Amino acid sequence: MSKLTEAARGQNCLIRIPGICSHNPEQTVLAHIRMPGITGTSLKAVDLLGAFACDPCHSAVDGRLKTDFSHQELWTMHLEGMARTIDWLVKHGKVRA
């Protein structure tokens, strides 16, 4: 387990999908972005390309949980969560910018 994956434990969800987010820090994991050219069969994004996510938000952005949001809306919320996560990681000394 990486330092960034460990850092997600007990943190607030930073994807925050309205009506989906559990706001339960006990469920928070690092949700890696899925993006052609970066991820694919047997390829996961590097940990810096992830967002702190509760289980329902992680399931929604990964497509395991059906929502009324479009793929583009979920993609945008995941990217916003990733930006908030990177900001948190820098401010808490987990990564250096």
Candidates 23, 32, 71, 78; catalytic one: 32
Q: Distance (Å, rounded) from C-alpha 71 to C-alpha 88?
A: 25
b/e sequence 11-50, b meaning 16+ C-beta within 10 Å:
bebbbbbeebbeeeeebbbbbbbbeeeeeeeeeeeebbbb
Is 32 annotated as catalytic? yes
Radius of gyration of the CA atoms of the chain, in A: 13
Active-site amino acid positions: 32
